[in-house]
Amino acid sequence: MRDVTVGKMSAPLAIISGILLALSYPLFNFWPLAWIALIPLFYALENSNIGQSFLLGWLAGLVMFIGQIFWLKVFHLSIPFIVSAYLGLYFGLFCLFYRLIADRTKNLNLLIAPILWTLIEYVRSIGPWGFPAGILGYSQHLNIYLIQVADKIGVFGISFIIVLVNISIFLAIKERSRIAAVQFSAVAAILVICFVYGFAKVSMADTKGDFRLALIQPGIDFRAEKGYNPDRSLVVLEDLTKQAAAQKPDLIVWPETVITESIRLNPALARKMYKIVNEAGTYFLIGNGDIKNVGGRIKHYNSAFLISPKGEVLSQYNKIHPVPFWEVLPLRYYVGFLKNVEGKGVCDPGSAYTVFETPKGKFSALICFEGMFPDLSKRFVSSGAQFLVNISNDSWSQSRTEHYQHASMNVFRAIENGVYYIRVGNSGVTKVIDPYGRIVKSLPIYKKGYLIADIKVGKF
């Protein structure tokens, strides 16, 4: 017979789980809460039928995502609720399937829950409409020793372990049986092994290198300046670049879309940019838009260009995974209250996994949103990239939370691939992450400046 008292508390328990999960991520960063956050939800499911289980899961997901992506209100107050209501459906599916299976596999529930959770997270992150923000493993970006095991199991494996701990605690409290106690002890042993592995790995780290990077954070506020003005942007970029070039870097990196007008279509703008490059006398990675005629069709790309010290474009990467509903099917062109929102236009997906080459090392670029996707980074590294550079422009969000949430996910790309991960943002977060997920250097957000860092190229 189900506990009637707990049954009456089902919705509040689901809400509590959503709140605890939201607090686990930036800006709050109370990451230990993730290890117990699902326990109230599991209690709520104990007294629910299939339909109720779906609604409880959806409610928990709705609360969690509103707490995470409230900054989407920059577009319209309704947007965080609409997006959260959609993403909450995945939580609902987890609870539905868990409730459907749990009564039939009582002795296997310890594994059923983490398997279901991880599978649904993975499904949510793949395909052209994939949106992997809020993956449970990302809550642990500061838990540096535990997440070292991501080099073996990835961020989804970290999610698996977190859910495994939650369900083992729940079963131990609920059942108070010898089997549950043994299961809890086994899970605790797994955690200890992960921490020992991580501690040993980090303690043996040697990341000193001689590839010098100069990362430019211009801090251009396009809203305050009433739009994108390439001439104003170039003045800021030129000043910071001259200062950084005095440190003799091997590569200077500019962020995404601070120069939105295509240098291919504007020779005067291109000449100004190349003048800055020539004076610096080193290699540049520059984010810029591009337009090409491909098979009789005009295509628009969000691109990154590697430019030689002589001002020659050596190679180009076109963003493979555009942002759904923003760069692909951009709703702001069709929905009335979004039409005044500034931002990039339509972006066609690229197809080539470009590896840029300089005399001292090879690297690949990921543009903004692409840093969320584990498979994309792995593909670049397997193609020969010795480090990864993510160029971004998060100034549109007007939110510190969005900046730090977006950047926190990059820690896992460094660990998963065993390479340095460099992030360069117009307004931040500009930082250098070593192959063990440690922040070597960073700049404060919303500050004009540059960062000089020496890294070791290659896979660790």
- Full strand arrangement of the beta sheet holding 449-455: 313-318, 297-307, 283-294, 251-253, 211-217, 449-455
Instruction: For 248, list phi and psi in degrees, rounded to 5.
Output: 55, 55
| Contact call for residues 61 and 47 (beta carbons, < 8 A) | no
Per the rule left: phi > 0, alpha: psi between -120 and 50, beta: everything else, 229 is beta
Active-site residue set: 256, 319, 368
3-state class (DSSP) for residue 409: coil
Q: Which long-range contacts (CB under 8 A, 24 or more apart) does 380-384 make?
A: 380/353, 380/355, 381/417, 381/419, 381/459, 383/353, 383/355, 384/355
| Contact call for residues 395 and 222 (beta carbons, < 8 A) | yes
Return d(Cα 97, Cα 174) in angstroms, integer. 20
Return d(Cα 12, Cα 385) in angstroms, integer. 48
Tell me if the bond preceding 429 is cis, omega within 30° of 0.
yes
Q: What is the DSSP string of 139-194?
A: GGTT-TTGGGGHHHHHHHHHHHHHHHHHHHHHHHHHH--HHHHHHHHHHHHHHHHH
Closest CA to 405 of 433, 372, 427: 372
Give every CB contact of residue 220 below 8 A, 6+ residues apart in sequence.
232, 233, 236, 258, 395, 426, 427
Return d(Cα 6, Cα 18) in angstroms, integer. 17
Tell me the CA distances in angstroms from 266 to 262, 263, 304, 314, 430, one per residue in order. 6, 5, 17, 18, 28
| Contact call for residues 424 and 288 (beta carbons, < 8 A) | no
